[in-house]
Amino acid sequence: MNLEGEHQFKGPRQEVWDMFRDPETLSACLPGKSQLTKIDEQHFEGTINIRIGPVNGSFGGNLEITDEIPPEKCTLVVQGRGVTGFVKGIGHIQFVDQGDGTTLLKYTGEAQIGGTLASVGQRMIDSVAKTMIRAAFESLNKSLEVRLAAKESGGKGVRGSDSSKVNLEKPAEEKL
Amino acid sequence: MAGIVFGQRIPRNEDARLLTGKAEFVDDIELPGMLHAAFLRSDYAHARINSIDVSAALKRPGVVAVYTATDFGDYWKPGPLQVPPPTAIPNSVFFARTLIPISKDKIRYSGEPLAVVIAESRYIAEDAFDDIIVDVEPLDAVTDLEKALEPGSPLVHEDLESNLAAHVIQQHGNWEEAAARADYVVKRKIMVDRCAGGAMENRGIIVDWNERSGEMTIWASTQAPIPLRNSIAARLGLFEDKVRVITPFIGGGFGPKIMTSMPDDVLIPIIATWLKRPIKWIEDRRENFLATTSERDQIHYAEIAFNKDGAILGVKDMFYHNTGAYDPYGMTVPLNTQTHTVSNYNVPNFYTEIKMVFTNEMVVTPVRGAGRPEGVFVMERLIDYAACELGMDPADIRARNLITREQYPVRTGIIGQDFVEGVLDSGDYPKALQKACDMIGYDRFIREEQPRLRAEGKHKGIGIVCFTEGTAVGPYEGARVTVGANGKVNVTTGISTQGQGHFTVFAQIAAEQLGVDVKDVNVITGDTGQFHWGAGTFASRGAAVAGTAIYKAASKIRQKAIMLGSQFLGAPEDQIELCGGRVCVKGDPSRYISMGEMAQRANPTRGTFPEGAEPGLEAVDYYGPPYGATGAGSVAMIVDVDPETMAVRVERYVIVHDAGTIINPMLVEGQVLGGVSMGIGNSFFEKMVYDENGQLLSASFMDYLLPQATDMPAKIELGHIETPSPLNPLGIKGVGEAGAIPTPACFAQAVENALADCGLQILEMPLSPSRLWELVQQSGKE
């Protein structure tokens, strides 16, 4: 399955990049009760929950960030396996400074699914993928707002050093 | 050749039980202490296995055992080759890579078993899958038939040099020379895609091992109980009679249940001897799509050479055949394709070449039609494009080239699935074609109705095709017929029954010979404890081959009864007849012996017994044909295409069919109608889809569409022709696959005809509304 699209962020490119590379932020983008643990700057592992039609399961896997040219672009490689199948994806992300304080994120990629997920859920995968991506961008929008607000109001910047002040919500899980 | 019961539309003996829920199927059977098996199956289509850790699964309450490949020790090896290699065909190349029961080092198809869990219930067994940790290294999958043979392709079987599973060339005459002198040569690339058997009842097996008596009883939803028994007995080192396979009622076979080397066939009996408790495995629907065999998947590069008067000089067909990850069933399917390409036409020069290819997809073995529909589809399309080139009517070009009734027997020069040259034994192909045209009103439709409909903006089209159906192949079947002391008759044969009506048809054959009521004949099929010689139900051979064995055994009893009757009643043999359950003297109703009493008198418990005689009224006999009998016919249909939605409705369907002598017209009609619905499914609804990573995308009825009653034409019109086969005494030919074989070819022609203004060419099956729309768009651009 091929994916591509873009999203406009209301913030400067460096901020968008930093936010993107923050594991807590990425974790918040994942659906359901997913979580991501950092191994090192480029490697993360954890679980992700996916529901596609009647097939529902958690997938253990890892995420690798490669080909990084901060703050311009990077490539995400995702692999997950579970009882209901497996997921493999690769996404090429570009961050384009629009010159007016906003950043355009452009992505292209492909995803491969297999197992029950594919054999029973394949007709719904396109719409599920779009929904997940949309939810992830909503989450990132919120994260960016919070970041920028925190910067303005007191320079603490990165969430996590004062997490009691920051309220980062995951996007409501969509019923499919 | 109709008799008192033979040839009559007798209602089925078995229906009362089936329709009131009293029939027993495999899943109905419960045994004390029974355990349930579930197979953990691979998601990946091609991968190397690093490790499988089942320790957590073993701790789950209710789990009795979990086995992986290493647990089976010496039992772990590739299974038997179920069909011999094509050594009868000169220069043939065949690499046997048979089904592996459970993956050890390498996974070759999505669905291949990785572990077997045995638990107190199927629910617990499947829950245990969550506990099993599988560590694999995925490999690139081989799925494109042509790319699979290119150098550098990943190898499904790494001990081979390439993914070529087999290479077989057959020919007669000289194609090159014919093509050179022909007025025209037309070439096409034609594809037929995969379909499933889709039986209402999935596969299933129950194994009960009695440690004390050393005997195993198996209930299986199988088309081949005797080979299954022999295979399991051999594997376990048991004498065959220590294993009994009982086939209960089966909810449809359609081909995939002929397999006897599937993972469950091999592993469950072994496990039963270890655990010493009965074990049941019932396949669920997703498993059936994923991990039971399916069929069709060929790419043809075909050419036809013909002259301007419509005479066909030659056909060349080079095709790739997908055998999937293994080839346990040999070359049966592609050989059927070779024997059913030019079979009904006079084509003096024919070259046909198979390249069978291993891929990381499920194994291909016969599904109703078994390679024949592909051959017919290719030939009928070539003929249609030849007709198009010449501006000739499709019915006329066929009439011009069909084999005529004076030519039989016709030696085809092509060796078939029974490893002998195919010989057309009898038939009247031009008559079938003419009758189909008459029944559908072909000329009137083309000349009057269609132009009028076109003027109204309607897109209706007509198609007419011809086909043959090779049936009734050897090697043999056998039967035992016994008259009981109560005058009722038992007929026992080795083949099993999947719903065809054997319990009635075989009763009719015996009843006719013995002069008893059909309802007094009890037919037993598929129980190796009752009859243990035979091959199985496949290739539309039950009625012709087992039926003939039953006829021969019943005839022996008839002769014996007449002889004994002559002795006991004091009349010459030509004055003795069997009727109403009695042996009587013609014209003198007071002199008779009932069949039951005759049976008793023929079995003395004291005194002496004649030399060379056999006791009772019982006979065993066998029958094996020199080659298979060939049915044939013509199909015509009228379709209505909605040019916006590309929905195609089959408005009328005519099939004229010749199955030789008919035992029960009602059951023949049932077989034909069933085949037609599968044929319509193969044309427009049913498609098994694999992606480029070998992932099956159509593993449920949401995506794999079976035609429903509303998708079928309101009426299917059946015409009959009977040319008795000279190959067996009753003149029977098979009929099981007839409806499925010609339908896609006719559908393609009719849809092209309906959309004639688009210049559409349909070179693939199956279609769908979206695919048809794509093809129409593409043809508009040319």
Closest CB to B703 among A85, A114, A123: A123
Out of A81, A118, A123, the one facing B695 most closely (by C-beta) is: A118
Read off the pLDDT of each residue in B18-38 and give the average, rounded to a whole number. Answer: 96
Which residues, 6 or more positions from B600, have their beta carbon under 8 angstroms from its beta carbon? B485
| Residues of B contacting chain A (CB within 8 angstroms) | 43-45, 110, 129-130, 286, 289-290, 691, 693, 695-700, 702-703
pLDDT at A154: 67
pLDDT of A163 over the 80 cut: no
| B419 within 8 A of B90, measured Cβ to Cβ | no
Domains and CATH numbers, chain A: 2-154 (3.30.530.20)
- With an 8 Å Cβ cutoff, is A115 touching chain B? yes
Highest mean pLDDT among A134-143, B519-528, B602-611: B519-528
* Predicted confidence (pLDDT) at residue B387 exceeds the cutoff of 70: yes
Distance of CA B559 to the CA centre of its chain: 35
The two tokens of residue B211 are 């440690």
In this prediction the ipTM stands at: 0.75
Q: Is the pLDDT of residue A162 over 80?
A: no
| Beta-bridge partners for B721 | B658
The amino acid sitting at B184 is Y
Chain B CB contacts of A122 below 8 Å: 697, 703
Residue B782 above 50 pLDDT?
no
Tens of pLDDT, residues B131-140: 999 999 999 9
Instruction: Return the residue in A1, A56, A58, A83 with the most chain B beta carbons within 10 A, the one to mutate for interface testing.
Output: A83
State how beta strands B489-493 and B477-483 pair: antiparallel
Hey, are the CB atoms on A119 and B289 less than 8 Å from each other?
yes
Instruction: Please report which residue ranges of B25-71 form alpha helices under DSSP H.
Output: 55-59
Q: How close B253 gets to chain A, by Cα (Å)?
A: 23
Q: How many CB atoms lie within 10 A of CB A40?
A: 6
- Chain A residues with CB inside 8 Å of B693's CB? 112, 114
Whether the Cβ atoms of residue A122 and residue A30 lie closer than 8 Å to each other: no
Say yes or no to pLDDT of A165 above 70: no
Reported confidence tier of residue A59, pLDDT bands at 50, 70, 90: confident
Tell me the C-alpha distance between A63 and A69, whole Å. Answer: 17
Of A81, A86, A120, the CB nearest to B700: A120
Give the mean pLDDT of B575-602.
94
Q: Do A116 and B289 lie within an 8 Å CB cutoff?
A: no
Flag whether pLDDT at B305 surpasses 80. Answer: yes
Contacts of A116 in chain B (CB under 8 A): 43, 286, 699
Q: In whole angstroms, what is the distance from residue B106 CA to residue A169 CA?
A: 44
Q: Which among B355, B259, B342, B344 has a CA at the least distance from the CA of B298?
A: B355
pLDDT tens digits, one per residue of A80-90: 888 889 988 99
Across the range A11-31, mean pLDDT stands at: 85
Chain-chain contact of B43 with A122 (C-beta, under 8 angstroms) = no
Residue with tokens 């909503």: A138
Are B697 and A119 a contacting pair at CB < 8 A?
yes
Judge whether A125 is closer than 8 Å to chain B, CB to CB: no
Residues of B in Cβ contact (< 8 Å) with A112: 693
Q: Is B55 helix (H, G, I), strand (E, B) or coil?
A: helix
Q: What is the pLDDT of residues B741-764, one digit of tens each?
A: 999 999 999 999 999 988 899 999
| Whole-number pLDDT of residue A166 | 41
Long-range contacts of A143-146 (CB under 8 A, 24+ apart): A143/A19, A143/A22, A143/A25, A143/A28, A143/A168, A144/A9, A144/A10, A144/A11, A144/A15, A144/A16, A144/A19, A145/A10
Q: How many angstroms separate the most distant Cα atoms in chain A?
A: 52
Report DSSP state, residue B419. Answer: S
Which of helix, strand or coil describes residue B403? coil
Question: Which residue has better confidence, A164 or B337?
Answer: B337
Q: Kindly give the interhelix angle for B332-339 and B372-390, rounded to the nearest 10 degrees.
A: 30
Give the tens place of pLDDT for each residue, B458-505.
Answer: 999 999 999 999 999 999 999 999 999 999 999 999 999 999 999 999
Kindly state the average pLDDT of the residues B247-254. 96
> What mean pLDDT do residues B250-263 have?
96
Nearest to A119 among B44, B130, B695 (CB): B695
Phi, psi of A29 (to 5 degrees): -80, -20
Which residues neighbour B746 within 8 Å (Cβ) at sequence distance 6 or greater?
Answer: B380, B463, B464, B465, B635, B636, B637
Residue A167 confidence (pLDDT) above 50 = no
The answer to whether the peptide bond before residue B366 is cis (omega within 30 degrees of 0) is: no
Q: What is the mean pLDDT of residues B44-61?
A: 97
What Cα–Cα distance (Å) separates residue B260 from each residue in B44, B79, B83, B204, B205?
25, 9, 11, 12, 11
Distance from the Cα of A155 to chain B's closest Cα (Å) equals 46
Q: For chain B, say whether A112 makes contact (Cβ under 8 Å).
A: yes
Q: Which of A10-24, B186-200, B515-529, B545-559 has the lowest mean pLDDT?
A: A10-24
Quote the pLDDT of residue A24: 82
Range with the poorest average pLDDT among A102-111, B19-28, B645-654: A102-111
Residue A33 confidence class, pLDDT cut points 50, 70, 90 = low
Q: Is the pLDDT of residue A1 over 70?
A: yes
How confident is the model over B434-456, as pLDDT tens digits?
A: 999 999 999 999 999 999 999 99
The amino acid at A145: E
Mean pLDDT of B27-33: 97
- Radius of gyration of chain B from its Cα atoms, rounded to whole angstroms: 27
Return mean pLDDT, chain B.
Answer: 95
Which secondary-structure segment (H or E) carries B367? none
Residue with tokens 């070449």: B353
pLDDT at residue A171 tops 60: no
Q: Domains of chain B by range and CATH?
A: 15-22+474-623 (3.30.365.10), 385-473+628-781 (3.30.365.10)
What would the mean pLDDT of B180-205 be, rounded to a whole number? 97
User: Which residue in A83, A122, A123 is closest to B129 by CB distance?
Assistant: A83
Query: Which chain B residues touch A86 with a CB distance below 8 Å?
Result: 43-44
CA A14 – CA A150 distance, rounded (Å) = 15
Tens of pLDDT, residue by residue over B147-159, are 999 999 999 999 9
Cβ–Cβ under 8 Å, residues B347 and B172: no
Q: Residues B511-517: what's their mean pLDDT?
A: 96
Is B44 close to A114, i.e. CB distance below 8 A? yes
pLDDT at A155: 53
Which residue among B43, B698, B700 places its CB closest to the CB of A115?
B43
Residues β-bridged to residue B303:
B187, B316
Determine the distance in angstroms separating the CA of A75 from the nearest CA of chain B, rounded to an integer: 21
* Burial class of residue B720, CB neighbours in 10 A (0-12, 13-18, 19+): middle
Q: Using an 8 Å Cβ cutoff, are B214 and B238 in contact?
A: yes
A22 vs B317, which has greater pLDDT? B317
Query: Is B321 buried (19+), middle (13-18) or exposed (0-12) by CB count in 10 A?
Result: buried
